[in-house]
Chain A
Amino acid sequence: RKEVEQDPGPFNVPEGATVAFNCTYSNSASQSFFWYRQDCRKEPKLLMSVYSSGNEDGRFTAQLNRASQYISLLIRDSKLSDSATYLCVVNGGGATNKLIFGTGTLLAVQP
């Protein structure tokens, strides 16, 4: 089983659509969770951290379910500029700052 598993997509959606990405992780000791965004041929950048209580930043909402070891990202009112690869990231668990990255989910927002 992969340490962090995501649907690679691509997700092709029209502008204005709502799209949801899911991610599962295997290490129950993981304590930190993130969504990163990576544009084509660019470096990954933090989109948002994910907290147990769930958190929202504008059109983006992240949820964490520790019992199911499941993380989600919801994007509302998709914009063309949201087109990118979205990386699910968890820390390696234990006393470590090692991050484990998923392969990413490709989102293409169509006009």
Chain B
Amino acid sequence: ETGVTQTPRHLVMGMTNKKSLKCEQHLGHNAMYWYKQSAKKPLELMFVYNFKEQTENNSVPSRFSPECPNSSHLFLHLHTLQPEDSALYLCASSQELNSGRALSNEQFFGPGTRLTVL
């Protein structure tokens, strides 16, 4: 059992729906991430939040909108998605140094939300 939880675990939505994915980490970490995992492709980083500030947006379409209200919670708001957005969406967290050093620490993943867009 990891210290990162995600809800819902499965989601089916139409292209005109609006939904939100939720992630919560219970590890006291200061960085949180959204990844997309599609079949036969590597994990794709979508967004990075360090100390609640978004520090990375990996050219993600605006139909995906992240929100980080505090260091323990991360949301991904979905609107007007396309069928090709169907994938496993994984949240992760880590404890990072705030020194600008080029080091990364272990990321702990949640179980993911399997999203199907019809």
Query: What is the interface of chain A mostly: helix, strand, loop, or mixed?
Result: loop
Which A residues lie within 8 Å of B56 (CB)?
Answer: 96, 98
Which A residues lie within 8 Å of B109 (CB)?
Answer: 43-45
B: number of interface residues (CB 8 Å)? 26
Bound-complex Cα distance A102 to B41 (A): 9
> A101 in the interface, Cβ–Cβ < 8 Å?
yes
| Pairs A-B, 4 closest by C-beta atoms | A91-B104, A43-B109, A101-B43, A95-B100
B50 touches A97 (CB 8 A): yes
A103 touches B41 (CB 8 A): yes
Number of A-B contacts (CB under 8 A): 63
> B42 in the interface, Cβ–Cβ < 8 Å?
yes
Bound-complex Cα distance A97 to B41 (A): 21
Which B residues lie within 8 Å of A103 (CB)?
Answer: 40-42
* Chain A residues proximal to chain B, CB less than 8 Å: 4, 29, 31-32, 34, 42-46, 49, 87, 91-104
B107 touches A32 (CB 8 A): no
Using known A-B contacts A34-B106, A43-B110, A49-B106, determine if residue A97 contacts B43 with beta carbons closer than 8 Å. no
> B96 in the interface, Cβ–Cβ < 8 Å?
yes
> B112 in the interface, Cβ–Cβ < 8 Å?
yes
B102 touches A94 (CB 8 A): yes
Using known A-B contacts A43-B2, A104-B42, determine if residue A97 contacts B31 with beta carbons closer than 8 Å. yes
Bound-complex Cα distance A101 to B45 (A): 9
B48 touches A46 (CB 8 A): no
A97 touches B42 (CB 8 A): no
B101 touches A98 (CB 8 A): no
Partner of B102, one of A42, A93, A100: A93
In B98-118, which residues have CB < 8 Å from any A CB? Answer: 100-112
Using known A-B contacts A43-B2, A104-B42, determine if residue A97 contacts B96 with beta carbons closer than 8 Å. yes
